Structure 1
Amino acid sequence: MFNGFTDETVDFMWGIRFNNEKPWFEAHKQTYLTHFYQPMRELEEELYGWFAEQRPKLPLRGRVSRIYRDARRLHGRGPYKDCLWLSVEAPAESVWVSQPTFWFELGPEEWSYGLGYYSATPATMMKLRARMERDPRVMEKLTRGLDRQTEFSLEGEPYKRPKEGAPSPLLARWYEKKSFSIGHYEKLDEILFSRALVDRLKTGFAFLLPYYDYFVTLDGDPDPRDGR
């Protein structure tokens, strides 16, 4: 059961940021396992169980990220990350790309959670635009719901030239995105150190479930490029 992160969690994140080398990590590995990885795993297990209850027919899986960076992509950085995240998503060959993903991330300065793609494919975004053009009403309703609340905001890298053809001004913002997420970002605060975080995340994810239901089926839509 998740009972919150600890001061040692925060100390470790700052420690690995400024001491990103194997000897320091090995000397503090037990702190990492006890105060960072283990509570993150407990939080993931609780959230995965909740998602499985909400959508019992969906093939979801939960996972916690590794602290080790890919050795092929260090680019002058140390071998360890100073953050961890958990995710719940449908199994896919390219996780975070072809399927929308729920996430929670904790770093030394900020925590965040939400729903989105790490890098949606051009085909996924084309299918999203085509679906909105066929029937804009569903996405207009979801967009109005997003505008009425303050927990989440639409984020994502924009196209250099926004796509044209939005069926209404309300949907134009989606045509600007190469990829997107609907997320909440906040400085570290007391909620991280208690079970109140579980309820906060469940409440937010409950709001995002209808958005997930809409996005997760995009891969099954016809490719707009076919037949042209």
Structure 2
Amino acid sequence: MSFTGFPDEGLVFYEGLEADNTKTFWTAHRDEYESFVRAPMLALLEELSGEFGTAKVFRPYRDVRFSHDKTPYKTHQGAVVTPEGRGAGSWYVQISADGLMVSGGSWRLESDQIARYRRAVADPVQGVRLEREIDRLRAAGWDIEGDRLVRVPAGYSADDDRLELLQHKALHATRRWTPEDWLHTRDVLDRVRTSWRDLAPLNAWLADNVGATTKEPRR
């Protein structure tokens, strides 16, 4: 299947799911999800795979075991590409009733990865490399996001020139587009591809300096 855009019916499906997030609605409209959301997402990712790698498409079901919000279904469809062997630094794309979102970086770092990240930020060479890349992304219209400490990290100074970066426990850049006619065309492919290419230096920095966690997986 060739990617031709995200049909408006997919956005309408998510509007309905936001209003009625129940198994009854999901069962009655699942064919719309499969045809107008999942199928075009898979087609988009297939066209991107040659350059970026194989994507993981997230399940539509929410994990409600430890959440106060017990609604069973996600109101967006996301997918992530994490190149094998790099450990940190991924590309993300998401479609919802709010439109298209693309992102890149790391959304969750384990304690050993955070320690390596902060050492690299404090390094006079790697810290400047990251700082310049973050400045470049901001100037290009990216939002710099990620969980952050409100305090100064232990072992670092409140006077550090890169304190804001040191406070991050995760770091990613994100760009969002509200629904417009181009969302229903192949223009989406060009925007995602161009955006992911723009995020490649950030992902490379994370791969070079943070890498994979050495902690045992949580049971």
TM range (shorter): 0.7 to 0.9
Change (3 A) 1:202 1:166: farther
Higher relative contact order, chain-length normalized (CA < 8 Å, sep 6+): 2
Give, in angstroms, the shift of residue 153 of structure 1: 2.0
C-alpha separation in 2, matches of 1:119 and 1:176 = 14
Shift of 1:167: 9.4
Q: Is the 8 A contact 1:162 1:177 kept in 2?
A: no
Q: Runs of 5+ in structure 2 lacking a partner?
A: 215-219
Q: For residues 67-92 of structure 1, give each alpha carbon's deviation from its aligned partner in whole angstroms, at most 9, with x where no partner exists.
A: 11225245342211111111111358
Q: 2:173 is paired with a residue of what secondary structure? A: strand
Distance 1:5 1:86 in 2: 14
Q: Secondary structure at the match of 2:92?
A: strand
Cα RMSD of the aligned pairs, angstroms, is 2.6
Q: Which residue of 2 aligns with 1:25?
A: 26
SS in structure 1 opposite 2:15? helix
- 1:165 is displaced (CA, Å) by 4.3
SS for the counterpart of 2:55 is strand
* Cα distance change on mapping 1:75 and 1:167 into 2, 3 Å: closer
Residue type matched to 1:10 in 2?
Answer: L
- Please, which of 81, 103, 125 is the counterpart of residue 92 of structure 2? 103
- Deviation of 1:36 after TM superposition, in Å, equals 0.7
Provide the TM-score with structure 2 as the length reference.
0.83
Measured in 2, the distance between the counterparts of 1:40 and 1:20 equals 21
Q: How far does the alpha carbon of each residue in 1:22-69 deviate from its partner, in whole angstroms, 9 at most, with x for none?
A: 2221111111100011001111112222214xxxxxxxx312111112
Deviation at 1:178, TM superposition (A): 2.0
Q: How many residues align?
A: 208
The gaps in structure 1 that reach 5 residues or longer are 53-60, 93-97, 224-228
**Percent of pairs identical after alignment?**
23
Paired with 1:66 and 1:172, the residues of 2 have a C-alpha distance of: 37
1:176-215 to 2 correspondences below 5 Å: 176-215=167-206
CA–CA distance in structure 2, aligned partners of residues 172 and 76 of structure 1 = 34
Would you say 1:133 and 2:153 are equivalent positions?
A: no
Are the counterparts in 1 of residues 121 and 166 from structure 2 also a CA contact under 8 Å?
no
Equivalent residue number for residue 41 of structure 2: 40
Q: Is the 8 A contact 2:138 2:144 kept in 1?
A: no
What is the letter of the counterpart of residue 95 of structure 2? L
Do the aligned residues in 1 keep the contact of 2:88 with 2:211 (CA within 8 Å)?
no
Cα distance in 2 for residues equivalent to 1:12 and 1:187: 16
TM-score by length of 1: 0.80
